[in-house]
Structure 1
Amino acid sequence: MPNELKKSYLSYRTGVANNTKNPKKCNDYRTISLMSHVLKLFLKVIHNRIYSKCESTLSCTQFGFRSGLGTRDALFGYQVLIQRCLDMNRDLFVCFVDYEKAFDNVRHGKMMEILQRIGLDYKGCCFIKNLYWKQSANIRVNSKHSSYIEIQRGVRQGCILSPLLFNLYADAIFSEALDNCHHGIAINGKLLNNLRCADDTILIAESLEGLQKKSKYMTISRTPELFTQYIYLNNQTLERVSKIRYLGTVIDEKGDHSIEIRCRIEQARNAFSKLKKVLCDKRLNLQVRTRIARCYVFSVLLYGVESWTLTETMSKKLEAFEMWVYRRMLKISWTDRIRNTTVLDRMQENKEVLKTVKKRKLEYFGHVLRNCKKYELLQLIIQGKVAGRRRPGRRRTSWLKNLRQWFGQSTKSLFRSAASQLK
């Protein structure tokens, strides 16, 4: 391969990484590799040739960087798994693993071993090896360039092949680490001990002893005594958390969405505040402002909605926020004592947030059921048998119970309708 194609520019973003506390720290910046357009064309051809082979070897527990899969699938699988375990009175211990600079720590030699192990053809292996062998890059900051340096490890941020190569690398790590692991949740006899979305990883066990080499962990149980027990690694106590942000959402040890919905509403309020001058400007057409609100405000509110399980209280909070947005757009104060029906008439709108939630959940349910190969794991979590015995008393509101209540159908009827695309 020509040396010019092995060169790239590491361009730092003008702003620092999100949530950074110290803009003077280099670790808070992220680089993007800018490469030759000719190289990108070659990479696209290679990607199309090796994708099917690589995809067939990946575990079904990986939802990141894969066609048709994403964060909503990982969130849905995790939330429904929690509900099913709590419903069957099963203890669940989950550990959240946070990789440090995941893309930058891929070893090239090990990566080539993995490609050969999965049976990738000789030409594909040679091309990828030449791509990463003695590659060089210089750093560009505000149009200034440094001298070229040799890159000895890591996959490029911005390269077409990088997500695929990282998935293979991470999958090999977990295959080796969990090879003889017998801890996890058994569903229909199949052991589930991890869920992954790119480098965001959750390790699952039904006992404290089942968690090994973890970062932060959460206890999900109806037994209070388990919350006072701890996990140790190298004589150090791992941090136990009651809530954590995972894939942009807040999940807690209770397994409900009350905290997440409060956070979503707060973030949507902030999004509205940033666009307040536009959304409240009466010189703009009301329909245009409404479309802007749907695009930039309600989209923030409804992120990850497919995995939500709503109670009556949560539903009222969502509707209350929707009316809050409309009143601000019309500059109507609560002290004006104008009813919500009047506000909706002036907006020429109906209450749409809950309708959108119901529609997206039902569509996603049907999407999962109709794609048996792609969503094999999610179908197992929804329909598979979890060992245990239900406690006496009223059952918790579950994801499927929401659909049964909203559409007035039995579970069997819902499965039949969703599988046949009937609404």
Structure 2
Amino acid sequence: MQIVMIGTGYVGLVSGACFADFGHHVTCVDKDESKIAGLHEGRMPIWEPGLEAIVSHNVKRGRLEFTTELKPAIDTADAIFIAVGTPARHGDGHADLSYVYAAAEEIARALTRPAVIVTKSTVPVGTGDEIARILRANNAPDGTSVASNPEFLREGAAIRDFKIPDRIVVGAEDDRAREVLHEVYRPLFLNKAPILFTGRRTAELIKYAANAFLATKISFINEVADLCEAVGADVQEVARGIGLDNRIGPKFLHAGPGYGGSCFPKDTLALLQTAEAADVPMRIVGSVVAVNDERKVRMAERVREALGGSLQGKKVAVLGLTFKPNTDDMRDAPSLALIAGLQQQGARVAAFDPVGIDHARSLLPGVEFADDSYSVVDGADALVLVTEWDEFRALDLKEVARRMRGNALIDLRNVYEPEEATRVGLTYRGVGRASAAVA
């Protein structure tokens, strides 16, 4: 099939490359000339494991193209996916749909034959209705359909998630849209991937509800972690104990510094705005957002307490800046609130991240960026592990202790056991478990 993907950000580029890998012909369109030029030269605008290889392979096979020109791309398109950004608007939390609606207008004016327009971007309930109205108002050809096909891609595992999905959700109001998207995803049927056809508004809500539920699990276990610390329990064992219940499951029950990234923060806010507009209270989701925001700010207090109550003049080393491993995404990363809090209390901060430093530089003024996970701790009074990259899971703690001036290890991901730290002369503080001091 002939597919056009509008937007070459995280969702658009991964989706376009994977569709091409299925054997479809895909043209990715973006107004950013420098991004398209980079893709022509094989430079990826995002860091995602395996993406460069899959893009290169399909470009060579002639199945994947990149352009800034929309009209030539959609002349023969069967399906046109809108995968542009929908960031949270400053001030009110509403999803900014200006890019989505601008793309719809441009599509309507360029179409010469009916096509199926598909929102891949995460959009609030009713967005597809507005896109249909825009298409009609701009004289799109009769028979043009609008569908919703939300993405469920985890950064760092996006290609696997696309090719071996838990489910495919398609929201459509007519047979033509359902038939076209059935054919688009037919290669996945060999893997018996479940495909759920719903109404368009239902599909739009599924994505927000899924992310809000996962965010709820994270905030829940983080509050349980605080209780564990207060009563002398171990949150990791509590999480395992409840996660073995198949009604609950073990995923997203890892206590830490709070959630971040491109989805959970903006999607929970957008869901709350949708509920407010419908005059439906969503007190649980509202509490989840508040708990998470407060938690990220409070992480600096953990460091201050570990250093005896004052950060003034202390050097704090931070390992991991991105919101999770295997991505360079810094959006709403817990490290941002942590480092701001440390600096406000007079600490000097050094940091290292395997791939996120380039994005972090403009977001973290005054931070000293190191070249590796050992030089960052030179002369540090405390080491804070924020993002659980694989290369941080087996550090030589004896070497870490030797390089540090102080001896505080604040492990916000519970990567290490307290005994491992105390054995080499470090004091240990994790999340939701007993702290350990050097004997």
State the TM-score, normalizing by the size of structure 2.
0.27
Q: Which structure exhibits the higher relative contact order, with contacts defined as CA atoms closer than 8 Å and separated by 6 or more residues? A: 1
Find the structure with the greater CA-based Rg: 1
